[in-house]
Each structure stands twice: as C-alpha cells, then as structure tokens.
Amino acid sequence: MKTPPASRNAKPTAPAPWDWELRLYVAGPTPKSATAFRNLERICEEHLAGRYHIEVIDLLKNPQLAQGDQILAVPTLVRKLPAPIRKIIGTLSNTERVLVGLDLRPHDLEPVAARNGENYA
C-alpha cells in the first residue's frame, strides 16, 4: 500500500502535556471569579492531576473573546478538550455537578440494572 504524499512529508506532532483543555471566562477580579478559579483548581487536582491546562480569560480586558465560545454569563467554564465542548456557568461550587458537566462521572450514579428494576442481590 502506498503512503499518500502528504503523509510522507508530515511532521509528527508532539502530544500536548495535558488531556484536558479548560477555559474559565471571568469579568475582572471579582469574588465569584476567584471562587470559580479556586474550585476549578481543586477539582482538577483531585480528578485530573497533571493532565489539565486552565486558561483564564478576563472579558474586561478581552471582550471580543466572548464571541468565539458564545459566552453569555460569567464565570463560565468551557471544556475545549476532550471533545465535545461543554460549558458550565457559575462558581463551580457544586463539585458533583461540575464532575457531571465535565463528564468525569456518570450522569446517573445508579447502575443501569437498578434503573430497569432488575435486582442481582
């Protein structure tokens, strides 16, 4: 099998040192912004240790950046990677909701068999 010309000349790309790319949109150094950042850092350290990158975007300094991710409220967390993109609005103080929103935990902690009325005890 012949390798396509573009593939032969393509340089291998180095993998990013993180698996999770997160953007936290804020509007200045407000108490809510600080709380959201602290909560996000804590959650990431507990559940994604070393596998994440947080980019904080202050919309007071760069308001044009709100359009790209369609930000309507702040603080807003946007999960860019892994796909698909997900958004969570607020201070991220409800850890369980943040984990579900980031898809770090099953949406329903109850086993499928139990939801279907089956009992394996």
Residue 91 has pLDDT above 60, yes or no: yes
Residue ranges and CATH numbers for the domains of the chain are: 20-101 (3.40.30.10)
Q: In which band, very low, low, confident or very high, does the pLDDT at 98 lie, cut at 50, 70 and 90?
A: very high
Residue 5: per-residue pLDDT: 43
User: What does the block give as tokens for 107?
Assistant: 């949406």
Q: In terms of DSSP bridges, do strands 86-89 and 52-58 run parallel, antiparallel, or are they unpaired? A: unpaired
pLDDT for position 1: 44
N- to C-terminal Cα separation, the chain = 54
Q: What is the rounded CA–CA span in Å between residue 47 and residue 72?
A: 27
Question: Given CA atoms 98, 43, 57, 80 in this order, what sign does their dihedral have?
Answer: negative
Angle at 87 between CA 13 and CA 19, to 5 degrees: 25
- Specify the higher pLDDT residue, 37 or 116: 37
